[in-house]
Structure formats: structure tokens, C-alpha cells
Amino acid sequence: MLFLLIGIWWLCKFIKRRREIKLKQKFFKRNGGLLLQQQSSSNEGNTEKTKLFTSMELEMATDNFNTNRILGQGGQGTVYKGMLTDGRIAAVKKSKLVDESNIEQFINEVVILTQINHRNVVKLFGCCLETEVPLLVYEFIPNGTLYQYIHDQTEEFSITWEMRLRIAVEVSSALSYLHSTTSIPIYHRDIKSVTIDQTHLTTRVQGTFGYLDPEYFGSSQFTEKSDVYSFGVVLVELLTGQKPILSTDAEEDKSLAGYFLRAMKENHLFDVLDAQVLKEAKEEEIITVAMLAKRCLNLNGRKRPTMKEVTFELGGIRAQKCEDIHLVGGNFETGSSSTGAF
């Protein structure tokens, strides 16, 4: 009788395990696993191979997706902190939904993103396709997000004008790299202060109200100029310290972009700036950055600058700022900027 019970238990365990394997195989196929393997083999020797993680590896890495490991969560999914078998710390993104009609595009982007090597773009280590929705595995960046730096400032720590310029330059540089240096242009589609880990850009595929290019509502097409618009909103956040969606009764001023453009039009720019910016930045620097943000927010995408042009202009502003600081340090006569070094 005992042997019979043990036999039944082993049989049930075997059947359960077999079902789990079949289910993983089903998910792997549905999520584009075969296509990814095909692309990886065709690119072998030329590019870094996209790492395919097993669901068991990521369950072990995140302590079975323990709630204590959650780094952040939102409408699109949850990000967990984990340790991979090779000792690397990773951020594992578990999405809520997957659009099966865009699986091929998803796989193509995963392959490309794995090849990206830029110091301000968060590295994509690989993915897991044998779960109901694909899991993306990124390098872990220990800094807080830019959103936290801007909107959760304290008296002990406030984000200086020099820091704001450095962040703007480095993030625009990362976007310019994605748009023009990779083998196939990559459009981020979700530029916002939450997806920027201080100066590192996390590659994602989605869009957020308040940052989303108004042209998208008419065309449903993302372009490189859609990223430029969203970056313009981030620039305005850095200038004003305000959130992308404002708590105001005025319907026309619900979006930070609209609020900022109205202030520019009515010559009230300096009334909407963050106190730290007013305290530290030169008037000419503020106006130059504000005019650049205004161009990025142009409703006509064709009239917006490219990210390469944005990076060049911001780099020039920051280079001049660094030169001024250097001259002040050397007791040379300069302007009246009181920006602290970062």
C-alpha cells in the first residue's frame, strides 16, 4: 500500500512537472523565442548574443519575486531587484501585459538593445520568454530616479543648476546615440524623469501622458521627434521643478508643457522657475535652455531639433558654465554665477 501511494505521488509530480515544461515551451514560442534564437544564430560572431534566462534563474534571483525585492511598480508592471548566478545585481522587469501582434518588433528591439554600449544607457542583459509575459533583465543602477531628485528635494540635498545641466547633457547624449549611432535607429518612446536613473536612461517601449508627443494622437506613429518632445518636457521639469501633470483647476494648464509655453508666450518665464535655478543660473543660460525646450515642444515635429542638435546646444551651455567656474577658481574676472561644482 505504501509503495502504491509513493508511486501515485511520483506520478502526480511527474505529470505536474511535464505540464509546467509544456506550458513554458508554449510561452517561449508565443513570446518569440524561436525568432530570437534564429536572429542570435544569424548574428553569431558579429554581435553580443542576447542572453536567454530561464524562469527558474529569475525566480531564484528575486527570491521568487518577493515583494521585499520590489524597486518600483506602475501601470505597465513591476521591477524587482535580484542577484544573478554570476553575482551581478540586476533589475528584473515583469510586465503586466504583452501585445502578441508586436512580438516580432519586441524581439528585434531586444536583440538591438542588448548590443547597446553607452555609459548613460542602462544595459539590457537579456530576457526570459518562458513566462506568460516576457521578463526583461537590466543592469541595476543604485541611484534614485531623476523624478525623485527633482520632486523630492530636501533642505539637506537640492539639485544644483550644474547638476541639472549635466543630467540634461548626458541624457540627451544617450538619446542621440540611440537615434543615430545604433545599427537601426531606436526610439525610446517613454522619456520621462521616472525612467532616468539620475543620468542613466532605461530603454522601454511605451508612453506616458504628460510626456507624450501630441502628434502621436493624430498619427499613432512614434518618431525620433516624439522622443525630442518628451525630452523637452524633462527639460522643463529641470527648469521649473514642477511635475508633468499639474494640480490646477485651469484645464489649459493641466500639462506642464502647456503651462510652460503659456508662461513663455506671456513673458512670465522667471515666474515659473525653480527657486534653485533662479538662485544659481545666469539669466542668459536660463533663457537659452528655455528657448531650446520651447523648440523641443513645438507641436509640429518637423520643426523640432534632432537629439544630436539638442546635445550640441546643451553641451555648449555646460562647457561655458564649466569654463566660467574654472575662471572663477583661478581668480579671473567673470560673470556673477554662483553655481556650485558637482
Any idea which residues carry the catalytic annotation? 190
Supply 163's cell numbers.
Answer: 547638476
Within 69-156, residue ranges assigned H as helices are 103-115, 146-151
Q: Locate 49 and state its grid cell.
A: 548574443
Of 185, 214, 200, 181, residue with least CA distance to 297? 214
Question: What would you report as the CA-atom Rg of the chain, rounded to the nearest whole angstrom?
Answer: 24
- Please report the pLDDT score of residue 250 as a whole number: 57
Query: For position 206, what pLDDT does the model report?
Result: 43
Which helix (H) or strand (E) covers residue 35, if one does?
helix 33-42
* CA dist., res. 119 & res. 297, Å (int): 27
Strand, helix or coil for residue 128: strand
Predicted pLDDT at 94 = 87
In the chain the first and final C-alpha atoms are separated, in Å, by 75
Q: What is the three-class DSSP state of 94?
A: strand
Are 139 and 88 in contact by the 8 Å Cβ rule? The answer is yes
In this prediction, residue 45 carries a pLDDT of: 53
Tell me the pLDDT of the chain (342 aa) as tens digits: 666 667 777 777 777 778 878 888 888 888 888 888 887 766 655 556 788 999 999 999 999 999 999 988 766 778 899 999 999 999 998 887 766 767 777 787 787 778 777 777 888 899 999 998 889 998 888 766 666 666 666 555 678 899 899 989 988 998 898 888 766 777 766 666 666 655 555 554 444 445 565 665 666 677 889 899 999 999 999 999 888 887 665 555 678 899 999 999 999 999 999 999 999 999 999 999 999 999 999 999 999 999 999 999 999 998 887 766 655 555 433 333 222 222
Residue 331's pLDDT is 44
Cβ(186)–Cβ(112) under 8 Å?
yes
Identify the structural domains of the chain with CATH numbers, from first to last: 49-140 (3.30.200.20), 146-329 (1.10.510.10)
